Amino acid sequence: EATGTRITVIDLEGIVLIDTSEDPAVMENHASRPEIHLARETGEASNSVRQSRTLGHDRMYMAVPVVSGGRAVGIVRTSLPLIEVEESRARLRVHVATGGVLAAALALLMAFFFSRRFSARIGEMTKTAEAIAAGDYRAGRKDRGRDELATLAGAVDRMSDQLRERMDTLVRERNELRAILGSMLEGVVAVDREERIFHLNRIAAEILSTRAEDAIGGRIWEIARIQPLAETIAGVLEDETGHTREARITDGSRDRILELIASPLRDIRGDLVGAVLVLHDVTELRRLELIRRDFVVNVSHELKTPLTAIRGFVETLIDDPEIDRETAAGFLGRVNDQVLRLSTLVTDLLVLSRVESEGEALERRPVDLRGILRECAGRLSPESRGRDIEFVLELPKGDVTILGDDESLRQVVDNLLDNALKYTPDGGRVDLRLLRAGDEVAIEVEDTGIGIDGRHVDRIFERFYRVDKARSRELGGTGLGLSIVKHITNAHGGRVAVVSETGRGSTFRVSLPAHEVRD
C-alpha cells in the first residue's frame, strides 16, 4: 500500500491465491495473462504493459516465478498503474532537464570565465613572443599561474633569457672582432661567393677610396676598380686556395704599392662561403728597400773608384821596377790621395750610420754654440787652407745655448763651412753667423760661390747626391756631408734650409730650438 503497488500471488495453474486489490475468489484464471504465461514458460522474470481487465486502466506488470526446492511453485506479480510511472518519468525528465540546463549554464559560465582568462594570458604571451621576435628580450615575465599555460610562459621566458644571453655574447664578440679588424694597420675585405662585400674595415675603405656603408653589398669589382684585386679574389673563389700578389694603384696624385693576400673563407663544415682579402700598403717598405739597394750600390761604387785607382798605381809600381824615383813619388802621392779619400768616405759613412741609428737618442746637454762656431772657424778658416777668401765670423753677445750633442753640432758646422769653402772660388767671401730668432737659434753659412741650380736644391740632402760628381770628387767630397747635416739637425728637433742662386752663391741655414739665451 505504501508503494502504491498491487501485488498478486498466483499458483502454477493460474489460480489467484492472494491479491492486494481484489478478492481472489472473484478473480478469473490468470494463466493467459502475457507476463504470467511468459514467466511460466521461461522460468524468468517477465513484464508487460497492457490494460488491466480487472481494474480497467493501463498498468505495467512484472511477474517473477517463485522457486522452492529447485522448482517453480508459483508466481508473484506486481503491477503499477502506468500513469504513476509516466508521472514519475515526467518528474524525472523535469529534474534531468533542469539539472542539464543548470549544468550547461554553469559550464558555459565557467568556460566563458576560463576562456577569458586564457585568451588574456595567451594574448599576453603572444605580445611577449612578438616583443622577443622584435628583439626585446626583457619582455614577458608576468604569468605566475600554475597550469600548462604558465609552464609554457615559463619556457618562453627561459627561452628569451637564453636568447638574450646568446645575443649579448654574439654582440660582444662581433664588437670585439670589429674593434680588432678596425684597428688593424692592414685593410681587410671579406666577400661572399658572388664577390659581394660583406665586411670592409677602415683602412680598406681608405685604400679603396670608398666608405663602408657604400661598399657593403656591392660587388668587389664595382667598388674597387683595381684589376689585380678583382683577379685575385676571383682566383681564390675559383681554385679555393690562397693567392698573393702585388699591385700598383694610383689614387689621386700618388702611386701606392699594395700587397694583396687573399684566402678562401670557409664555414664550420669547411664549405667555401667567400674570400677574405688583406691589403697591405708596402709603398714605404718598397721605397726603403730601394733606398737601401741604391745605398749599397752607391757605397760599393764610391769605394771601388779609389780602390781601382790605387790598384792601378800599385800594379804599375810593381810591374816596373826600373821606374824613376820622381814618377814613383808622384804615383805614391796619388795613392795617398785615394787612401785619404777612402778614409774620409769611411769616416763619413760611420758618422752617418751613427747619426741614423742614434737619431732621437743623441745625447742632449746644454751646449754653447758660440764656442763651437769659434772652434770650427779656427780650424777651417780659409787662411788655414791657404785660400784667398774673405771670411767673416759674426757672433751675438752672450751665450747662445741649445740642448744637444756638441760633437754632432761641430760636425754640422764643419760640413757646411767645408762645402762653402769648397764651392767658392778664390776671391770670394764666406760668412759664418749665429743668430737668435724668437725661441730658435740659427747657424747661417753664406758664400759667394758657384751656387746650386733650382733643380738640385731639393735633392742635395740625399745621400751621395752631387750636382757635379767630378767636381765634388776632385774637391775631396763624398756626397754625404749634407745628409749628415740634415740627420743631425732633425735629431735635434731643428730643420735645415738653403737659398741659392747659380753663380752668385748659397746660404745654408740650420734652425734649432733654443734652450737658454742670456745676454
Residue 190, number of CB atoms within 10 A of its CB:
19
Which CB atom, from 466 or from 515, has the smaller least distance to ligand ADP?
A: 466
Q: Fill in the amino acid letter for 482.
A: L
Task: State how beta strands 365-368 and 254-266 pair.
Answer: unpaired
Query: How big is the CA angle at 156 (ends 154 and 159), to the nearest 5 degrees?
Result: 110
From edge to edge, which strands make up the β-sheet containing 400-404? 365-368, 400-404, 516-517
Shortest distance, CB of residue 419 to ligand ADP, whole angstroms?
Answer: 3
Q: Fill in the amino acid letter for 416.
A: L
Enumerate residues 6+ apart whose C-beta is below 8 A from 493. Answer: 512, 513
Under the criterion CB under 6 A, does residue 215 sit at the interface with ligand ADP? Answer: no
| Measured distance CA(318)–CA(336) in Å, rounded | 16
* Nearest one of 46, 13, 49 to 28, comparing CA atoms: 13
Q: Fill in the amino acid letter for 49.
A: V
Residue 45: Cβ-neighbour burial (10 angstroms; 0-12, 13-18, 19+): middle
Under the criterion CB under 6 A, does residue 382 sit at the interface with ligand ADP? Answer: no
Q: What share of the chain is helix, strand, coil (3-state, %, to 5)?
A: 50, 25, 25
Under the criterion CB under 6 A, does residue 306 sit at the interface with ligand ADP? Answer: no
Stretch that binds ligand ADP, among 230-238, 360-368, 384-392, 467-475 (CB under 6 A): 467-475
| Measured distance CA(152)–CA(159) in Å, rounded | 10
Under the criterion CB under 6 A, does residue 420 sit at the interface with ligand ADP? Answer: yes
Shortest distance, CB of residue 466 to ligand ADP, whole angstroms?
Answer: 3
Which CB atom, from 162 or from 347, has the smaller least distance to ligand ADP?
A: 347
Alpha helices of 134-223 — where are they, by DSSP H? Answer: 148-182, 202-207, 212-215, 220-223
Stretch that binds ligand ADP, among 25-33, 236-244, 255-263, 480-488 (CB under 6 A): 480-488
Which CB atom, from 79 or from 415, has the smaller least distance to ligand ADP?
A: 415
Under the criterion CB under 6 A, does residue 450 sit at the interface with ligand ADP? Answer: yes
Under the criterion CB under 6 A, does residue 481 sit at the interface with ligand ADP? Answer: yes
Question: Which of 506, 511, 512, 514 contacts ligand ADP by CB under 6 A?
Answer: 506
CA 490 to chain centroid, in Å, comes to: 38
Under the criterion CB under 6 A, does residue 342 sit at the interface with ligand ADP? Answer: no
Shortest distance, CB of residue 476 to ligand ADP, whole angstroms?
Answer: 8
Question: Which of 260, 449, 509, 515 contacts ligand ADP by CB under 6 A?
Answer: 449
Total of chain residues touching ligand ADP, rule CB under 6 A? 23
Stretch that binds ligand ADP, among 25-33, 65-73, 313-321, 474-482 (CB under 6 A): 474-482
Shortest distance, CB of residue 395 to ligand ADP, whole angstroms?
Answer: 21
Shortest distance, CB of residue 464 to ligand ADP, whole angstroms?
Answer: 8
Under the criterion CB under 6 A, does residue 479 sit at the interface with ligand ADP? Answer: yes
| Measured distance CA(325)–CA(492) in Å, rounded | 52
The DSSP result for 379-420, as a single string, is HH-TGGGT---EEEEE--SS-EEEEE-HHHHHHHHHHHHHHH
Which CB atom, from 173 or from 468, has the smaller least distance to ligand ADP?
A: 468
Measured CA distances, 117 to 81, 104, 114, 122, 146 (Å): 53, 19, 5, 9, 13
Which CB atom, from 221 or from 465, has the smaller least distance to ligand ADP?
A: 465
Shortest distance, CB of residue 386 to ligand ADP, whole angstroms?
Answer: 19
Under the criterion CB under 6 A, does residue 466 sit at the interface with ligand ADP? Answer: yes
Under the criterion CB under 6 A, does residue 447 sit at the interface with ligand ADP? Answer: yes
| Measured distance CA(301)–CA(402) in Å, rounded | 38
Stretch that binds ligand ADP, among 26-34, 71-79, 269-277, 473-481 (CB under 6 A): 473-481
Stretch that binds ligand ADP, among 148-156, 166-174, 262-270, 450-458 (CB under 6 A): 450-458
Under the criterion CB under 6 A, does residue 468 sit at the interface with ligand ADP? Answer: yes
Under the criterion CB under 6 A, does residue 467 sit at the interface with ligand ADP? Answer: yes
Under the criterion CB under 6 A, does residue 411 sit at the interface with ligand ADP? Answer: no
Q: Do residues 253 and 243 touch, judged by C-beta distance below 8 A?
A: no
| Measured distance CA(361)–CA(344) in Å, rounded | 25
Under the criterion CB under 6 A, does residue 452 sit at the interface with ligand ADP? Answer: yes
Stretch that binds ligand ADP, among 51-59, 93-101, 368-376, 475-483 (CB under 6 A): 475-483
Under the criterion CB under 6 A, does residue 404 sit at the interface with ligand ADP? Answer: no
| Measured distance CA(149)–CA(51) in Å, rounded | 63
Under the criterion CB under 6 A, does residue 232 sit at the interface with ligand ADP? Answer: no
Q: Is 82 left (phi over 0), alpha (psi -120 to 50) or beta?
A: alpha
Instruction: Tell the residue number behind the cell numbers 529447485, with chain if given.
Output: 70
Question: Which of 380, 423, 444, 512 contacts ligand ADP by CB under 6 A?
Answer: 423
Instruction: Tell the residue number behind the cell numbers 741650380, with chain if given.
Output: 453
Stretch that binds ligand ADP, among 75-83, 148-156, 278-286, 448-456 (CB under 6 A): 448-456
Shortest distance, CB of residue 341 to ligand ADP, whole angstroms?
Answer: 11
Under the criterion CB under 6 A, does residue 65 sit at the interface with ligand ADP? Answer: no
| Measured distance CA(499)–CA(173) in Å, rounded | 58
Under the criterion CB under 6 A, does residue 249 sit at the interface with ligand ADP? Answer: no
Chain positions contacting ligand ADP, by CB under 6 A: 415, 419-420, 423, 447, 449-452, 460, 465-468, 472, 477-483, 506
